[in-house]
Each structure stands twice: as C-alpha cells, then as structure tokens.
Amino acid sequence: MWERFSFYGMQGILLLYMYFSVSDGGLGIDREIATGIVGAYGGSVYLATILGAWLADRILGSERVLFYSAIVIMAGHIALAVLPNVWGLGVGLVLVALGSGGLKANATAVVGTLYAAKDPRRDAGFSLFYLGINLGAFLGPLITGWLQDNVGFHWGFGAAALGMAIGLTQYSFGRKNLPPASRVVANPLPRNRYAAAAGIGLAGIAVVVLGVVTGVIQPANLAGIVIVVTLAAAIAYFIVIIGSQHITAVDRSRVFGFIPLFIVNVGFWSLYQQQFTVLTVYSDERLDRTIFGWTMPISWVNSINPVFVIILSGVFAAIWTKLGDRAPSAPTKFGLGAIIMGIAFLLFLPFSGGGENSTPLIAIVGILLVFTIAELFISPPGLSVTTKLAPERFHTQMVSLYFLSVALGTAIAGWLAQFYNPDDEVPYFTILGLIAIALGIALILSVKPVLALMKGVR
C-alpha cells in the first residue's frame, strides 16, 4: 500500500512539476518533452521488472530484492524532494524506476509464498494485497496533490518518501516471519559467472552515460529510445522462445497465439496510461475542478480510477466465476477491452474545443469509469493467460514479455502525448479512439484462429 501510495502520489504531480513555470514551483520544461519523459519513465519501470526478476531468480531471492528495492524507491523520492532542478529530477526518476521495477516483479511472488497452492485463504490473501495496492493508489495523489497545491512540489515528493519510509519500517519488523520459500534463489548463478554478470551491468551503465554525455540520449527523444529498446527486447524474447529446441510444438503454437494478445495489450496501455500525460494536461486546462467554491487539486483526478477498481474488481471476479466455462475467452476479453478503451477516448469528443474549465467534473468521472471497465477486461486476465500459455522452461520470460507489452504501451503513451493540442483536440481523440476500436474488432474477428494456436488454453 505504501509503495503504491508513494508511486502514484509522485506520479500525480510529476508532469505538473516538469512543465509548470519556475515561478509556479516547476522546472519550466516544454510540455511535449515533459510528457515524453513521463512515458519513458513509466516504460522504464516495467523494463526494470526484468532486471528485478533476474536478480531474484539468480542471486538474491524475491524477498531480499523486494526489501532492497523499497530502499532504492525511498532514496529516489528523497532525491526528488531535496535535490534541485533537473539533476534532482533525473536522479530521482532513475532510482524510483529501478526500485519500482524490482519491487513490482517480486511483491506478488512473496505474497504467493505465504500460502500453499491449495490453501483456501490464498485468493483472500491476494484480494487483500490488491486492496492495499488500490488504497495506496487512491490516497497518494490526494495527499501529494494537496501538499503541492498548498505548500509546493517538494513537499509532495517528501510525502511520497515519508510514505515509503513508513512502509519500510513496518515491513522490516515483519519480514523475519516470512516463510523461507520467499528467500529461495530459484536458479542460482554460479559464483564464477558473477564477474561476467557485473561486467555486463557496468557496460550497460557506461553505454547510457556515454549516450547522455554525447547528446545521443536527451529529454526530447527519451520516449522514442525506450520504445525502440523495449521493442527490440520483446522481439528478441519471442525469437529465443519460439526458436528454442527445448519446447514442444504445442508450446511453440501457444507462444504464436500470444502475439496478437501482446499487440492489443500494447495498444490498450498506450491509451490507458495517458491518465498521467494527456489527462493531466486536460485536467489543468479543460476541467472545471471547482466544487462549491473550492478548487480541487489537479492530481486528485488520478485518485478516481482506483476507487472504481476497488468497487468493480469484485464484481467482475464474481461475473467470471458465475459464468464459468461460458465466460468469454482471453482473446475476446482483450478485444472487448480495447474497444471499450477506444470508446472512452471518443467520449472526450462532446467536450472538445471548449475553453478553460469547460468540461464538468462528472464527465471525467464517467470517462474514467469506462477506462476502469476496459482495464478490468484486459489487465487481470493478462498475466493469467500469459502464465497458461508459457512453456514450462520459459515461464519467467513469458511473464517478462507481458510486462514488456505494458512497458511499450506506457512509453508510447508518453510519445503520443506530444501530438495532443488543447486547441485542436478532435483529431487526437478521434484517431486514437478509432485505432483502439479497430484493434479490438480485428482480434475478436480472429478469435477462432487465435484459440486454435492457443491449443486448449482459453
């Protein structure tokens, strides 16, 4: 809960901090560049899950990576709170991205070790875990947004650091009671390969530093670089898995069946993650945030979605349980999720072209309800179907592939935001909405051949 509190609390004010003028407490970065940085940062979080999973599987085990990652996250929020200007922004975002990737990759694994596979409390435990995630996502933007609005951005970042410190303190007392399975290193890296692994890591850091120093990597093209790197990693993963001699023909067919789901998932997240880019700008320039004479902080809009997730996730779980084998297949759910996400973007059209404060708050609440419905069609089934389709030998790599689709979509969300023009909104919302709907329809029309490739997995 506290990690999500700090993550979404910081994310709620991050874009504003970058593009608000210096006189308003911001950095005065061009808004198009700022949205690209937010997208690149979000994509990097999901890219870092691969590193976090590797460290857990090969060197430290999930529980230790979880604990150390939380410390790195707190350090990142402290950097944002106390270090000045762009350097503070850069150091803070790198640390939070690395830490969040490590924590995200391993928190679920640690919760899984608390229960035996057939323990009847297992689902209830994960429900509490999911509730904690969404409570943190709800409370974070409320508190950091209020602080940013009343005393300044750095107080908001400081609150995110404090939240992480509270979580770490509580966790440090309880971690000794976690089962030994949470500390198991599944596939230990031989000691004689530590030096080679460290060398590869240092070489990667050197390439990034060289890119920054020479100007190849700069804020204006950061989202594009993350997109290219993520796409290359995804293609490499697919080639390695499909080309492996250690999987059966059925396994190979299932991996091919995952490709259409991967593509639609990228499209979905490239729209959904614009809550932190375009929707933030929209809330600043278009949304009427006045309630009985009081003006709501911009970032509070980011707390609407978690409320709907908390309310509706149980409803969707009950519906799928009730339907049983009659529930839509995973490709159908993905297709419907993409279509509903496209419809959510088209719902902006009746309010397009309005002036300042022209969009009523209730309209954004309704649109975010549609965002949430789309999310619940795609996000919860996503990891589930990925694990079902994964060849046994490549289970972790397939999960990494799923996260790469989210990383790619998130980075694209930041890149797309540069084309958003508050003075000419209709083309933006129309084109992206129709593309998402077309992707969803194409997948639904292809359900039979996709299910044939999935070889019995629904």
How many Å apart are CA 317 and CA 429, to the nearest integer? 31
How many Å apart are CA 342 and CA 272, to the nearest integer? 10
Burial of 90 (C-beta count, 10 Å sphere; 0-12/13-18/19+): middle
Helix (H) or strand (E) holding 295: strand 294-295
Comparing CA positions, the residue from 230, 224, 262 lying closest to residue 414 is 224
Alpha carbon 351 to chain centroid distance?
A: 28
How many Å apart are CA 389 and CA 395, to the nearest integer? 9
pLDDT on residue 260? 93
pLDDT on residue 123? 66
- pTM (two decimals): 0.88
Comparing CA positions, the residue from 270, 274, 293, 292 lying closest to residue 283 is 274
Comparing CA positions, the residue from 45, 279, 5 lying closest to residue 134 is 5
Question: What number of other Cβ atoms are within 10 A of residue 103's Cβ?
Answer: 25
Partners of 359 in beta bridges: 287
CB 457 within 8 A of CB 384: no
How many Å apart are CA 376 and CA 374, to the nearest integer? 6
How many Å apart are CA 113 and CA 97, to the nearest integer? 25
How many Å apart are CA 438 and CA 455, to the nearest integer? 26
pLDDT on residue 117? 65
The secondary structure of residue 60, as a DSSP letter, is I
Over its length of 458 residues, how does the chain's per-residue pLDDT go in tens digits? 888 898 888 888 999 999 888 878 888 988 889 989 888 888 888 888 888 888 888 888 889 999 999 999 999 999 999 988 888 898 999 999 999 988 887 887 788 788 876 777 776 777 788 888 889 999 999 999 999 989 889 999 999 999 999 999 999 998 889 988 888 887 788 888 888 888 988 898 888 888 877 877 788 788 888 899 899 989 988 888 888 888 888 889 999 999 999 999 999 999 999 998 899 989 988 889 888 888 888 889 989 999 998 888 878 878 877 887 788 888 999 999 999 999 999 999 999 877 788 889 999 999 999 999 999 888 877 877 887 888 877 777 787 788 899 999 999 998 998 889 888 889 999 999 999 999 999 999 998 998 898 887 77
Kindly state the tokens that stand for 365: 């609440």
Residue 296 Cα distances to 20, 60, 329, 449, angstroms? 17, 44, 41, 49
CB 101 within 8 A of CB 47: yes
Kindly state the tokens that stand for 309: 């997730």
How many Å apart are CA 8 and CA 5, to the nearest integer? 6
How many Å apart are CA 115 and CA 122, to the nearest integer? 6
pLDDT on residue 169? 92
The secondary structure of residue 423, as a DSSP letter, is T
381-387: long-range pairs with CB below 8 Å, 24+: 381/330, 381/333, 381/334, 382/261, 382/265, 382/334, 384/330, 385/258, 385/261, 385/330, 385/457, 386/258
CB 69 within 8 A of CB 75: no
pLDDT on residue 458? 73
pLDDT on residue 444? 94
How many Å apart are CA 285 and CA 336, to the nearest integer? 31
